[in-house]
């Protein structure tokens, strides 16, 4: 098995997992927050926020990557400020994670938002009458009841991050061991004659990994649903 993939491929697999994992984990709290805001609050600029969240879905990934490069690059308005604090995304795996997170964000938010909207506000009211402040209502009622959607959203984001290519390569290039994720490696293989076989191996690996994640999310989802007891 270790022979089947070369060290370069293994490094791409490991990197993809790392990038996708962190992209999902770090964007999850923000995703939940934004989903909640969109589901339950009304505030000026709500539609703007909603649009912004969906932007990476609408734009060709190359454009998103380019915009990321322009803003978060070491010379970009935000990137240069962050660089002063020692936070650099450009051409680092962290940047790949940012690109993946941005691209996956709309999917995550949509899934979570739908689940939050499906939580009966009457239960939230009941929680409030029992003394729970809005934050506690959220933590003890809304969040656990929306769990299936949150898991679904996270897995969707993870899968998307595993497959993300256009924005990543445009933003952080394709540096082995640093930003060469599975899709970038597949791309590189496909660019040369005879690279299909190597590419196909990586495709299989990424499918297996993502299917594993999916199965896991199904199991979690089923357990959560069973707990709620046939609803």
Partner 1 sequence: MLEVSVRHRFEGFALDAAFKAPPGVTVLFGRSGSGKTTIINTVAGLLMPDSGRIASGDWCLLDTESGIRLKPHRRRLGYIFQEGRLFPHLTVRQNLAYGAWFAPKDAPRASTAGVVDLLGIGHLLDRRPGALSGGEKQRVAIGRALLSAPRLILADEPLAALDEARKAEILPYFERLRDEVSVPILYVSHSPSEVARLATTVVALDAGRVVAQGPAAEVLGNPGILPAGAREAGAVLTARVARHHADGLTELDAGGLPLFLPKVPQPEGGRLRVRIAAHDVILSRARPEGLSALNILPGVVHEVRPGEGPGAIVALDTCAGRVLARITRRSANVLGLVPGAEVHAIVKTVSVAPLDVGGGGRTKR
Partner 2 sequence: AAASMTSALAEIETNFEAATGHDLVVSLAGSSALARQIQQGAPADIFISASTDWMDRIEADGLIEEGSRFDLLGNSIVLAAFGTETAPVEIGPDLDLAGLLGDGRLAMALVDSVPAGVYGKAALESLGLWDDVEAQVAQADNVRAALAFVAAGEAPYGIVYATDAAAEDNVTIVGTFPPDTHPAIVYPAADLASRDVPAEAEFLAYLRGPEARAAFERQGFTVLTE
Burial of 13 (0-12, 13-18, 19+ CB in 10 A): buried
What is the rounded CA–CA span in Å between residue 10 and residue 22?
18
Considering beta carbons, is residue 6 or 51 the nearer one to partner 2? 6
Fill in the DSSP letter of residue 76. Answer: S
The CB-of-134 to partner 1 minimum distance in angstroms stands at 8
Work out how close the CB of 60 gets to a copy of itself at its nearest, in angstroms, rounded to a whole number. Answer: 4
67-69-72 Cα angle (round to 5): 100
Residues that bind partner 1 (CB under 8 A): 122-123, 125-134, 136-137, 140-141, 144-145, 147, 224, 227-231
Closest contact distance (angstroms) between CB of 193 and partner 2 is 3
Among 30, 130, 190, 200, binds partner 2 (CB under 8 A): 190
In angstroms, how far is CA 144 from the centroid of its own chain? 20
Interacting positions 148-177 with a copy of itself (CB under 8 A): 148-149, 152, 156, 159-160, 162-163, 165-166
Work out whether 73 is an interface residue with partner 2 (CB under 8 A): yes
- Tell me the C-alpha distance between 142 and 123, whole Å: 9
Q: Which is nearer to a copy of itself, 139 or 211 (CB)?
A: 211
Q: What are phi and psi of 230, to 5 degrees?
A: 65, 10
Residue 115 sits in the site that holds partner 2 (CB under 8 A) = no
| Binding-site member from 44, 193, 229, 230 for partner 2 (CB under 8 A) | 193
Return the number of the residue (87 or 216) whose C-beta is nearest a copy of itself. 216
Please provide the DSSP assignment of 130-166 as one string.
Answer: TT--HHHHIIIIIHHHTHHHHHHHHHHHHHHHHH--H
SS3 at position 209: helix
What does 215 interact with, of partner 1, partner 2, a copy of itself, none (CB < 5 to 8 A by kind)?
a copy of itself
- Residue 61 lies near a copy of itself (rule: CB under 8 A): yes
Number of residues that bind partner 2 (CB under 8 A): 33
User: Are 156 and 108 contacting, i.e. CB atoms less than 8 angstroms apart?
Assistant: yes
List, as one string, the DSSP characters of 6-36: -HHHHHHHHHHHHHHHHHHHHHHHHHHHHHH
Residues in contact with a copy of itself by the rule CB under 8 A: 47, 50-51, 54-55, 57-63, 66, 106-107, 110-111, 113-115, 117-118, 120-122, 148-149, 152, 156, 159-160, 162-163, 165-166, 182-183, 186-187, 190, 199, 203, 206-207, 210-211, 214-215, 218, 225, 230-231
């Amino acid at each position: 098995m270790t022979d089947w993939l070369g060290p370069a491929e293994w490094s791409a697999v490991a990197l993809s997992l790392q990038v996708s994992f962190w992209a999902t984990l770090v964007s999850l709290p923000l995703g939940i927050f934004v989903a909640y805001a969109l589901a339950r609050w009304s505030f000026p600029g709500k539609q703007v926020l909603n649009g912004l969240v969906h932007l990476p879905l609408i734009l060709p990934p190359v454009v998103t990557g380019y915009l990321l490069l322009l803003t978060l690059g070491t010379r970009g308005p935000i990137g240069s400020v962050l660089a002063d604090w020692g936070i650099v995304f450009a051409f680092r795996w962290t940047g790949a994670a940012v690109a993946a997170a941005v691209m996956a964000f709309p999917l995550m938010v949509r899934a979570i938002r739908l689940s939050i909207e499906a939580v009966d506000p009457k239960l939230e009211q009941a929680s409030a009458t029992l003394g729970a402040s809005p934050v506690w209502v959220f933590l003890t009622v809304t969040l656990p009841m929306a769990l299936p959607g949150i898991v679904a959203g996270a897995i969707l984001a993870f899968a998307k991050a595993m497959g993300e290519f256009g924005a990543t390569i445009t933003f952080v290039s394709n540096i082995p061991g640093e930003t060469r994720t599975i899709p970038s490696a597949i791309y590189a293989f496909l660019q040369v004659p005879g690279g299909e076989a190597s590419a196909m191996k990586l495709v299989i690996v990424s499918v297996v990994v993502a299917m594993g994640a999916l199965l896991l999310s199904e199991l979690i989802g089923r357990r959560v649903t069973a707990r709620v007891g046939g609803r």
